[in-house]
Amino acid sequence: MAQQEAQQRRPSIHDVASHAGVSAATVSKVLSGVTTVKPENAQRVFDAVERLGYRVDPLASDMRRAKRRMIGAIMPEFESEFFGQMVTELEGLAEQRGYTLVAASSRESEAREKEILARMHDWRVAGVVLAPVRNEHGPAAAFMKANGMTGVLIDRVLADDAFDTVSADSAAASAEVARALISQGHRHILVVGLGQEAATVRARLEGFRNTALELAPDMRIDVVLSESDVEPLRTLLRDYFSKREAGDDRPTAVYSLFLKGTLVALSEFRRRGWHCPNDISLVGFDDAEWMQVTWPAIAAVVQPVRRIASEAMEVLFRRIEGEGGPPRARLEPCKVLMRESVGSPGSVPHSGGGDRQ
Amino acid sequence: MAQQEAQQRRPSIHDVASHAGVSAATVSKVLSGVTTVKPENAQRVFDAVERLGYRVDPLASDMRRAKRRMIGAIMPEFESEFFGQMVTELEGLAEQRGYTLVAASSRESEAREKEILARMHDWRVAGVVLAPVRNEHGPAAAFMKANGMTGVLIDRVLADDAFDTVSADSAAASAEVARALISQGHRHILVVGLGQEAATVRARLEGFRNTALELAPDMRIDVVLSESDVEPLRTLLRDYFSKREAGDDRPTAVYSLFLKGTLVALSEFRRRGWHCPNDISLVGFDDAEWMQVTWPAIAAVVQPVRRIASEAMEVLFRRIEGEGGPPRARLEPCKVLMRESVGSPGSVPHSGGGDRQ
DNA sequence: CAACAGCGAAAAATCGATTTATCGATTACA
DNA sequence: TGTAATCGATAAATCGATTTTTCGCTGTTG
């Protein structure tokens, strides 16, 4: 092959040293910006670097230091816009600081989460951004604590006694949703959630309930929670509506505490031939691009992904640089977009179930 | 602090060696499964490993070999379901083989793509899975070639003379879409695409056009292509429909060649107050979870993510292990899901534009 | 004029593993 | 019995950088 260039091995720091007529130590110093090198020699080093196309081997470079210039990121999944954007943001922020981001998905499993964390510990990452599957009290956080890792917890967390946390202000956003729905006249609302133990689901539920009952004490709030998976929730929701099909005690609005729940609710509405907002209103936590192009557009709570990412990285790097002090819990404000899927109850007669299977 | 355990440094192979009363070399051999070690000594090594909780440092371990046990993955973005799932799949497959996946997003920029590739080259990844922004002829592929990297190209590629490629069989899927739309009676169809140079967009367009014109030579096919970004496409599409608002030459169906195009089309329909499939039919390349819960459900071409991922990894690892031979181009079959957004033209009178701004 | 401080750069140790060369003890064979 | 082959294990070299230590030289000072 004509790939002589490609075949020969990468130049090492010693190659640069011999080309520049200095020692490897000097090359290292020049490249790391030490000033006690004669300008003449420095220039020769730069020239040699240029000529050979030398690049520092980050792996060898990281060998000697305890912490490597890598940041680990563990997300529950990559398929949703929220975590997808989050990884992209984190990656950019890590790169800005000369770090490499290693991202992994726990696929909603705490066991996997811990295993990934162990791998990252093997790599001696300088820090970890962990979006836990459930909350800050899972085995992953315990592992990080036990092994003295530095990290920051995001998203499904409230506060922790060992790690900084950054998350959306779920409670405040939920309160705003409650105000909006109540001002539209809703007095019977179904809240749909998943994972009772997840810290944020609790915060979202409580934030909603407290504000709602404060504004309208006669309010009726039903709750359908599925412990773990999405499919059980689908069943629970189906049962819930089946029981209320005949009577007049059907809720006039549904508030879903997370994206998958919004999808399940919409799919259930479809099955029953209900349309938003005439037959029922819908608001969901987590926005997605498609929600503004469907008919009706779906109302949603938008989480401040960029702010969460940048705050998380900010605080993480401060810890990496050795900053002490007690861990802080940060809450970033959300935006609530009330779109067409929310209307006033009873303004239009229900279309009644059954025009579709 | 009570974290004595956490504070003391990780045990190294020498700690294990001294605890087991053997040399570091013996420990290394035992752990890598060499059989020429006395069973008694092997057992003592295992015991020491157990007692100290020793884990091999992958970074140090990789130092001595030319290729490291890392796989790089470069995707154009992480926000969409397709690439999100892709990364998740690739990660699992790499892990199965004892490799770590380092994923990065080129954010639809060829410059960034090449820069990321250079960083991965610095890390001496064993191989790269590259989903190029445009096609197989970009600067990134050239960089890989010039530096003798091993890799596989996926998604927006057709075939390459240096690297194996794995992608969805866009042409066949497009042909199927054409057959379906024509059998429903459509004779005037708008195809929406982005990135004229992207290999797959061309394949999708040609696959559609060829089959359509073969089945219905009187067919009229309009094409709206935007070179680079999504926003220009929105403008182009708006202009296209504005010109045809009055006359009767409005297409009866839209076929979008990629996900963002489907969103743009839907958003344009909304603006004009058109509903699918009564006013216009819509099929899009790339499926998403929400497409089956909206009203109407959106017809889509489903790409075989898992198959593409596993084929890519399969072929990549064969190359890593030194398999020779000319590069192969693989095409994986798609599934076409004709949902409610597609109907027969003229079966219901157009609702006419303008019931919304 | 000897001792000493200061500077710049080279030499050497280090990180934690793998791999090659080497070595001692045991067994085999002449 | 002496030499060769074999086996198991250790010492040492290696990967490519960083960091500490050492060294040589110049210039200053008592």
pLDDT digits (tens, 9 = 90+) for B165-198: 999 999 999 999 999 999 999 999 999 998 767 7
pLDDT digits (tens, 9 = 90+) for A198-215: 788 889 999 999 999 999
Which runs of E-coded beta strand occur in B186-313? 188-194, 220-226, 253-256, 281-285, 299-302
Q: Is the CB of A56 under 7 A from strand D?
A: yes
Nearest CA in chain B to A66: B9
β-sheet bridge partners, residue A53? none
Percentage of chain A with pLDDT > 70? 94
User: In a 10 Å sphere around its CB, with 0-12 CB exposed, 13-18 middle and 19+ buried, how is residue A15 labelled?
Assistant: middle
Which bases of strand D have any atom within 7 Å of the beta carbon of a protein residue? 7-12, 14-20
CA of B188 to C1' of C30 (A): 97
Of A80, A122, A148, the CB nearest to B6: A148
Which bases of strand C have any atom within 7 Å of the beta carbon of a protein residue? 7-12, 14-20
Q: What integer pLDDT is reported at residue A72 of this predicted model?
A: 97
C-alpha distance from A11 to closest chain B C-alpha (Å): 11
Average pLDDT of span B256-278: 93
What is each CA distance from B346 to A133, B244, B296, in whole angstroms? 50, 17, 17
Residue in B227, B214, B204 with CA at minimum distance from that of residue B303:
B204
Average pLDDT of span B123-141: 94
pLDDT band at residue A3 using 50, 70 and 90 as cut-offs:
very low
> Which of B85, B145, B290, B351 should we substitute to test contact with A (largest number of A Cβ atoms within 10 Å)?
B290
Q: What integer pLDDT is reported at residue A195 of this predicted model?
A: 77
SS3 A274: coil
- How is residue B181 written in tokens? 């739309």
Please list every residue in chain A whose beta carbon sits closer than 8 Å to the beta carbon of residue B55: 118, 121-122
For residue B48, pLDDT beyond 60: yes
> Which of A54, A59, A275 should we substitute to test contact with B (largest number of B Cβ atoms within 10 Å)?
A59
Nearest CA in chain B to A146: B6
Q: Is the CB of B12 under 7 A from strand C?
A: yes
For residue B91, pLDDT beyond 70: yes
Q: Is the CB of A64 under 7 A from strand C?
A: yes
Please judge whether A59 and B124 are an interchain contact, meaning their C-beta atoms are less than 8 angstroms apart.
yes
pLDDT digits (tens, 9 = 90+) for A142-201: 999 999 999 999 999 999 999 999 999 999 999 999 999 999 999 999 999 987 677 888
- Taking only Cα atoms into account, the Rg of chain B, rounded to an integer number of angstroms, comes to 27
CA of B37 to C1' of D2 (A): 29
Nearest CA in chain A to B142: A6
- What percent of the residues of chain B are helix, what percent strand, and what percent coil, each to the nearest 5? 45, 20, 40
Residue nearest to nucleotide D13 (CA to C1'): B64
Q: What integer pLDDT is reported at residue B229 of this predicted model?
A: 81
pLDDT digits (tens, 9 = 90+) for B54-64: 999 999 999 99
Please judge whether A87 and B102 are an interchain contact, meaning their C-beta atoms are less than 8 angstroms apart.
no
Q: Is the CB of B25 under 7 A from strand C?
A: yes
CA angle B193, B311, A116 (to 5 degrees): 100
Q: What integer pLDDT is reported at residue A230 of this predicted model?
A: 85
CA of B48 to C1' of D7 (A): 24
- How is residue B120 written in tokens? 């991965």
- How is residue B333 written in tokens? 């079959």
Which tops the pLDDT comparison, B249 or A282? A282
Please judge whether A107 and B88 are an interchain contact, meaning their C-beta atoms are less than 8 angstroms apart.
yes
Residue showing tokens 């133990």: A197
Please list every residue in chain B whose beta carbon sits closer than 8 Å to the beta carbon of residue A294: 266, 290, 294-295
Q: What integer pLDDT is reported at residue B8 of this predicted model?
A: 65
> Which of B59, B95, B145 should we substitute to test contact with A (largest number of A Cβ atoms within 10 Å)?
B59
Which tops the pLDDT comparison, B58 or A247? B58
Q: Is the CB of A12 under 7 A from strand C?
A: no
pLDDT digits (tens, 9 = 90+) for B28-41: 999 998 888 889 99
Q: Give dist(CA A324, CA A10) in Å, integer.
A: 41
Q: What integer pLDDT is reported at residue A326 of this predicted model?
A: 97
Residue nearest to nucleotide C14 (CA to C1'): A64
Of B10, B145, B263, the CB nearest to A293: B263
Looking from the CA of A323 toward its CB, the CA atoms found within 13 Å total 13
Q: Is the CB of A59 under 7 A from strand C?
A: no
C-alpha distance from B62 to closest chain A C-alpha (Å): 8
Of A56, A57, A79, the CB nearest to B81: A79
CA of B24 to C1' of C18 (A): 10
Q: Is the CB of B146 under 7 A from strand C?
A: no
**pTM exceeding the 0.85 threshold for the entire prediction:** yes
- How is residue B291 written in tokens? 């497409």
Residue nearest to nucleotide C18 (CA to C1'): B64
Q: What integer pLDDT is reported at residue B196 of this predicted model?
A: 67
Mean pLDDT taken over chain B = 91
CA of B150 to C1' of C13 (A): 36
Q: What integer pLDDT is reported at residue A6 of this predicted model?
A: 43
Residue in B302, B32, B314 with CA at minimum distance from that of residue B154:
B314
Residue showing tokens 């030319």: B66
- How is residue A345 written in tokens? 């109850």
For residue B354, pLDDT beyond 50: no
Q: What integer pLDDT is reported at residue B292 of this predicted model?
A: 94
C-alpha distance from A62 to closest chain B C-alpha (Å): 8
CA of A306 to C1' of C16 (A): 38
For residue B145, pLDDT beyond 90: yes
Which runs of E-coded beta strand occur in chain B? 68-75, 100-105, 125-130, 151-154, 164-168, 188-194, 220-226, 253-256, 281-285, 299-302, 329-332, 335-337
Pick out the nucleotide with least CA–C1' distance to A58.
D17
C-alpha distance from A87 to closest chain B C-alpha (Å): 8
For residue B2, pLDDT beyond 60: no
CA of A314 to C1' of D3 (A): 72
Antiparallel, parallel or unpaired: β B188-194 and B220-226: parallel
Q: What integer pLDDT is reported at residue B347 of this predicted model?
A: 58
Antiparallel, parallel or unpaired: β A253-256 and B188-194: unpaired
Please judge whether B63 and A63 are an interchain contact, meaning their C-beta atoms are less than 8 angstroms apart.
yes
> Which of B122, B258, B271 should we substitute to test contact with A (largest number of A Cβ atoms within 10 Å)?
B122
pLDDT band at residue A84 using 50, 70 and 90 as cut-offs:
very high
C-alpha distance from A124 to closest chain B C-alpha (Å): 8
Residue nearest to nucleotide D14 (CA to C1'): B64
CA of B60 to C1' of D15 (A): 9
Are the C-beta atoms of residues A146 and A311 closer than 8 Å to each other? no
C-alpha distance from B217 to closest chain A C-alpha (Å): 34
Q: Give dist(CA B80, CA B85) in Å, integer.
A: 9
pLDDT band at residue A246 using 50, 70 and 90 as cut-offs:
low
Mean pLDDT taken over chain A = 91
Average pLDDT of span A79-88: 95
pLDDT digits (tens, 9 = 90+) for B281-336: 999 999 999 999 998 999 999 999 999 999 999 999 999 999 999 999 999 999 99
